[in-house]
Structure 1
Amino acid sequence: MHVIARSSAALLALALLAAMPQAHALSKRDQAAVDALNTRMQAAETRYRAGLVKIGNADPAGRTEVDAALEDMEDVMAACVKQKGCSPTTMLAAYKRLLKQNADVASGDEVPEDNDDENIAGTIAADVPEAARAAALLSADGQQFVKMVQYNPAVQAGIRRWLTDMRPSLIDTFENYQYLRQTMWPQFQRAGLPEALLFGVMAKESNGRVHSTSRAGAAGPMQFMYATGRRFGLGDDGTGFDTRYDARASAAAAAEYFNERLGTLNRSIELSLAAYNGGEGRAQRVFNSSGGGNFWDESVYNQFPAETRDYVPMVIAAAWLFLHPKEYGLTMPRVDARPAALRLVKPSSIYELTICLGNGGTREGFMRALRNLNPRYQADQYLPTGTTLAATTKIAGLYGRYCTQGQRAELAHTLVMSDASRAIVRTGPVTPVQAEDAVYEAESAGIGSASATPAPVRSKPSKPAKPSTYTVKRGETLTAIAQKFQCDTGDLARANKLKAPRFAIKPGQKLKLDACEG
């Protein structure tokens, strides 16, 4: 985990602790416990500084020491929440000192040149209000989401599934959410809804894939059906783009939906989730007929379909793990999601950018992040010079280094523009040699007499006329077809009334090529 992230979370937790009343008179037992916590914090700080020295000496064990020290500090603060008389003042001072010694910079991790310690501290400070509220969810007396739901065997079974065969999906969701959090979380925050609910729904619905679309027609990171989305302001924005795929808009709509349901379902998270999955009409009828019964009451529970009975505890389980990862041995991926604008200095596509950017220390590279942050664009859509993409500071730095010029940029362009059909050698059908052709070949080789019949004049084949339509083949995309006929993807889409961002086409479909040169 990043030193920045750890420091931020710990500092914010301490800010929360600072607001807690402290007892004036302590028993000997309590005082001894407080002294022990202070001693542990001092030892952790010493260990942290020793780790920095090792990092400075290029000792790979330094990073391990730094991370372990920060984990020790987190444990101390967690114990301080529960310990009567524990004062955060000394610990907070220690953290302020540590914020000025960023181990990530010292270890040579790739960060933007303008990301000095002062800017890092500013970034952390700017995040204090949001993270303090998140920390409040975990405090002993402030677990907003935890108090709103039941932790029962059904939820425990859901946790088991997320931690076994569905663990990769949970980790992917967390990683995707880090890139989207800056746009999605404020929508729930303003609505007074817990962040854990947002994460849980997204984990079950889309795994944080913005372009996710179900067979039933639900779309976007929060999987809104078309009609429901329209009620909450989602749909075609006039340019052909469906705003159900927009992370900010879909989060705002989901927050409004949940507050509407909570208001009619006695503030029940479970019943609101049942409405989100199984239909609000059904959930309201069940609630009214049961006299406001609890979702887990047998008479209520059995009136929902099996899919909904599975959906509700799975969402709560994902949210629970979001709040308590350490308790379950979960180590979430380290993501540097600081936002930055990326302006293209030459035409490119998200596919091409994905190749030239490389992995950048991540497991799967940046295609999903770029797609999620730029839902209006298809991955294979060529974007003109000057297009500004939403990105991160890391992506923007890698773009300037590897994608504007050089061998990797050229290789990425070659790979993206490659056409598999060009690998096929077309020799044509084998035909018998005609008499006149035999004479022509003999003369060309200097064989035969001068009285031989002269070879016929062969006319040059005429250039085929430009086709007016094209039949889509299996596996083809609109961008590939546009490149094949030398026309702009957007022009071709408009000529055939195809809607962004998907530009969906299917095998056998006939496309008009009026916008192409031929």
Structure 2
Amino acid sequence: MKCCYLIILISLVIGCASQPASQRPKPELPQLTMEELTDDAMMSEEFVKENLSIVEKKDVVILQKVKKQSAAVKKIENTSLNMHSMNLRYSKKLYDFWINYLTSRFRDTFQNHLGNALKYKDTVMQILARYNLPKELFYVGLIESGYNLRIKSRAGAAGPWQFMKSTAIHYGLKIKRGVDERNDLIKSTHAACRYFKDLYNIFGSWEFALLAYNKGEYGVIRAIRRGNSRDYKVLVAQKLLPRETIYYIPKIVAARDIFNQMDQYGFSGQSRTLATQEVSVQVAKSQTTPRPKVVYKKHLTHKVRKGDTLLGLSQRYAVSLAKIKQSNSLRSNRLLKNQKIKIPVKVSYYTVREGDNLTLVAQKFGLSVGKILSYNSLDSEKIYPRQRLVIPVLL
């Protein structure tokens, strides 16, 4: 049978839900007008009983058999499962957290991500359509890499889809001296589409497919078996998934909504670097716009908070990672909570005038309000006439 092992794996996922509904813990996530997951006809009790000896084998053995059938799986273009429909459920609380984070603390970097995404959107969407995949998968690349084609994680994942080396090679990408096709937008997107299709064919649910993309197939299968359920909400309620994985789907949805409503959230349709250059040209032509003339070298002090990384600080303050490490005599990228990091920057100063507010000042210099607050260690947006503000010089 062509898809025998694929069916066996799906039966494992379904078979884990044998616990009576009345004994399951009540899910904490709200029901958000999404369609309930439906059972497939081949998941009958008779099928599971016939394959019980196989179902009880270790996860690794099952997945190895599924991978041997990957060539056959890829030929199934018209699957009976509703691959094109992406009904995602998520915590409203976590969704609100990501909306707030992406539009405030992470705003400057996310503006660049949005600019990159706009540049590559048509190309990625065309490839997704070719594989008959949901267009919402475009936003996975947005949160994975911000469509930075050269980005590489500490774990070794690279490119816009953040492929690990073994997964990339499995899906046909070449990685050798001087060549890494994970950084090739078109080739890596084709590979990502094949990977998405395989994950969906394994789990029969986009919720689980996305979780597996983030955590790996083995991790999701182990969570399903420990929770004795194939309901995503139940596994989240039982905390059988890591926090990063639980946050993954709300983050995708939040990024999607911001992308589709940039004006509402105050983002522009281009990268922040380009936008800043254009604003600088416009400001230079205006005689009424005051520009600081003297540039000073300065060290800002940043107190490390939970979640901070050197790479994040580098992006936040637009200073190279090497310069930050050099200024602090750091030999590694490790940061400790409450550690004070010196940020070498070039700044100018602006004296607040009557009628100024922080939004107007930010617009004058092509900066975000958050950036000025950060550079001046301000807790609120209140400013006063004759107050001296530090203005970062963007190079």
TM-score (normalizing by structure 1): 0.34
- Structure number with greater CO (CA < 8 Å, separation at least 6) is 2
Tell which structure's C-alpha radius of gyration is larger.
1
